[in-house]
Amino acid sequence: MPFSLENAGGLPCYRSPLLSAFPEVVHGFFTRQGGVSPAPYNSLNLSFTVGDQRPQVIHNRSLVQQALRLTALVSATQVHGCRESLITAGNAAPDEELPDADILITGHPSLGLLIKQADCQAVMLYDPRGRVAANVHGGWRGQVRNILGEAVARLREAFGSHPEDLVAAIGPSLGPCCAEFRNFRREFPPDLWSYQTRPTYFDLWALSRDQLLAAGLKPQQIDIAGICTRCRGDQFFSYRRDRCTGRQGAVIALRLKK
């Protein structure tokens, strides 16, 4: 289903219709717009590690936190691996990053799980039965290692989640129009070569969908934005396009019970 572009506290963000159907979930795939960082990080850069000034990044993060009305935003140093971090009120440090992790999981309300991206996928998972949320940083290296299958397995092991109950949303990211891998024979195993849409170009959205299906999710429970970050320079940072650039953020959280 098409994602909707909405206004969250003055910040534009895309939202998944599947996730929006759950009132206990708050989420947003934010654009590059609405922040305070100067070029080439203009303007809602949420990464501490790309060369932007730390006070500006902290301010941008506070804008996102306020827009979603959350107690805290939590992020980790993303390393293109498959390690997870279970987020609680005890380890949520808004102005710092947790050690290396590409899968963030929480069952605690009002803690926003932040994935930073500039072409990589942010894939949100929600278990409505167990009231557990996850956010996954899915770069191509992580996809080769089946990070989404690993994330589903972690939810099952840590919270007893059933894959058939999970809802997934794959946000704006590098599309098949721009996902070129000239050295794919070295970078991808042969069983992934079938995801080529034309010579050296790959459909990473389809790969993520198929990995989620293989993990046990139902087809109707998977949302794909279908928006390419490299093509939309007005809305998104893109490392492939600009190299020196910022990172937009994707956030999912559980609402506080009223």
74-128: pLDDT as tens digits: 999 999 999 999 998 777 776 789 999 999 999 999 999 999 999 999 999 999 9
Tally of structural domains, the chain: 1
Which residue range(s) make up the domain with 67? Answer: 4-254
Which tokens sit at 192? 């992934």
| pLDDT at residue 142 tops 90 | yes
pLDDT value, residue 220: 98
pLDDT value, residue 29: 99
4-53: pLDDT as tens digits: 999 999 999 999 999 999 999 999 999 999 999 999 999 999 999 999 99
- What is the rounded distance in angstroms from the CA atom of residue 244 to the CA atom of residue 238? 9
pLDDT value, residue 95: 76
- Please state the separation of Cα 150 from the chain's center in Å: 15
| pLDDT at residue 258 tops 70 | no
186-213: pLDDT as tens digits: 999 999 999 999 999 999 999 999 999 9
Query: Which class for 243: exposed (0-12), middle (13-18), buried (19 or more C-beta within 10 A)?
Result: exposed
Quick one: average pLDDT of 58-79? 96
- Asked if the bond preceding 43 is cis, omega within 30° of 0, the reply is yes
Which tokens sit at 257? 């019970």
pLDDT value, residue 242: 97
Q: Domain holding 20: CATH number?
A: 3.60.140.10
- From first CA to last CA, the distance across the chain in angstroms is 30
pLDDT value, residue 256: 85
